[in-house]
Structure 1
């Protein structure tokens, strides 16, 4: 099996596992962010509980998984392309003295699968790959947000895509700019923190088994995800508003920012932050453990390692 195929398969499995397990977090986050107007006198925890109760009351427990198919259409190819593109770009950057880490590469077979880069290389590779994949799959991101929202009554995925396509590129690529402003720093910071935390953790507790390695990857990814999520969350709120609201005041980046500011002030930019933080921590832990675990499994079962030379 080729290197690219191994990364695509591992990334796809990662996207499938996290998408299925964590869909309720995405749905509730979207419902909390979709509103138009102020929310007075209610803490975010109570809003989460109230939103979840309303979904279950209206659609049953399975209603929390509404939009799962749309999520998988976005996440499976998205995560597969992200991990594969990230690996390819990191491999290219690792040939440059400016981006190559002087850190001695780990020789432990359970340690890592990624080339070693400087902090600049980690930031650049993560940001560029995430934004590129986000652009290609933005129509599915819009579809996902609208299926999670209760503002649309699409009867089928194909019908929804056709409806969006009739609106032209402006409809299919709605919310891409705030998505890019969210994803570029998120991905860059995530990769930089992930590699740094993983390196320090491996120094303190060297990986001795696949299970231990999975724990290190999960801890490193969860910690990096938490830091990057809180820094970039305001753009996630703006992105959701632009993708699900049809009012004129949500038709542009600055218009949406001004609208949220007037309606809610600073708290308005952190609607759903607890849900996104929980989702990102868990998806990072699950996703990177599955991804690196699958690659390590392929390597240790005698198949060619995609990054053995690194």
Structure 2
């Protein structure tokens, strides 16, 4: 697990594949979550309830105004965010787990030459606690580095900004001051730390148990195992952390005073949308995360296993 270049390449290809295939899910999720707690400039909860946006309505609006290409608006911003972001995350996670696996507090015994060890995965093996710590730490670190691009991605996907080019959008954000570059970071960290920790714990546990039940004997079978395990883990982690995703999106795309902090944004959602407001766009994010996890981790592990077995 010392070949950082191979891990970066695998992660980048994983991010590239999932981003292009699943951008419409991200765009529609952002449109739903940007929501309006303000109706014609004033808080009107009753009118708001009557004007709630559905997935189909949001999709029709995009298709009517921009055609099919409109569903891929913001793809360039997503690629700039996700390709290096996924590469850094997967590589950082693998490297950190390699380091932690040398500690007796986090390592787990591995049966030498067992078929499930050879074909199920070549990634470092840790205890559940180790996987939780590694996933959360790596995700928050990468999120901090990539937050300006995450902000840019969210605003490009929103229809509340008239950005025409990435350079113009980035210049606009920079002009707003350094604090704007970290806007939404608190909510993103509260979402990403538990999401990544939960995901890695369940992903590794599901891979391990599935490999013991049905031992994979080829890379194809291993990829199916990785894909199914990642999809299930992604679903669990997404449902557990979705409210923080809603708060993050509103922080990054809304400019009204009540959306200037994590606490005020959470209060605003509760006051005018209730508990349902924290789950806007759940179906889209769930679909996107399940599919991106299934695609991304299958691609990442397939490439690493192919390289490992050819050496």
- Output the TM-score relative to the length of structure 1: 0.94
1:20-99 equivalence runs, <5 A: 20-37=20-37, 38=45, 39-40=48-49, 47-99=54-106
Q: What stretches of structure 1 of length at least 5 have no aligned partner?
A: 304-310
Q: 1:234 is matched with which residue?
A: 243
1:137 alignment partner, SS class:
helix
Q: Say if 1:105 and 1:116, in contact at 8 Å, map to a contact too.
A: no
Q: Say if 2:120 and 2:208, in contact at 8 Å, map to a contact too.
A: no
Give the deviation of 1:114 after TM superposition. 1.1
- Deviations 1:257-306, CA, capped at 9 Å, x for gaps: 00000010100000000000000000000000000011111122x23xxx
Q: 2:10 is matched with which residue?
A: 10
- Deviations 1:64-94, CA, capped at 9 Å, x for gaps: 0000000000000000000110011001100
Q: Say if 2:100 and 2:130, in contact at 8 Å, map to a contact too.
A: yes
- Output the TM-score relative to the length of structure 2: 0.94
Aligned partners of 1:208 and 1:167: how far apart in 2? 55
- Deviations 1:190-222, CA, capped at 9 Å, x for gaps: 000000011010011101111110000000000
Q: How many residues in Structure 1 have an aligned counterpart in Structure 2? A: 300
- Deviations 1:170-196, CA, capped at 9 Å, x for gaps: 111100000000000000000000000
Give the deviation of 1:166 after TM superposition. 1.2
2:49 alignment partner, SS class:
coil
Q: What stretches of structure 2 of length at least 5 have no aligned partner?
A: 38-44
2:119 alignment partner, SS class:
coil
Q: 2:41 is matched with which residue?
A: none
Of residues 246, 254, 260, the one that matches 2:263 is 254
Aligned partners of 1:103 and 1:269: how far apart in 2? 42
- Deviations 1:96-124, CA, capped at 9 Å, x for gaps: 10111135367443210211100110000
Task: Report the more deviating stretch, 104-113 or 212-221.
Answer: 104-113
Give the deviation of 1:7 after TM superposition. 0.2
Aligned partners of 2:51 and 2:174: how far apart in 1? 38
Q: 1:307 is matched with which residue?
A: none
1:190-229 equivalence runs, <5 A: 190-229=199-238
RMSD: 1.5
Q: 1:171 is matched with which residue?
A: 180
Of residues 97, 105, 109, the one that matches 1:102 is 109
Q: 1:278 is matched with which residue?
A: 287
Aligned partners of 1:4 and 1:73: how far apart in 2? 20
Q: Say if 2:63 and 2:71, in contact at 8 Å, map to a contact too.
A: yes
- Deviations 1:104-156, CA, capped at 9 Å, x for gaps: 36744321021110011000000000000000000000000000000001121
Aligned partners of 1:140 and 1:54: how far apart in 2? 26
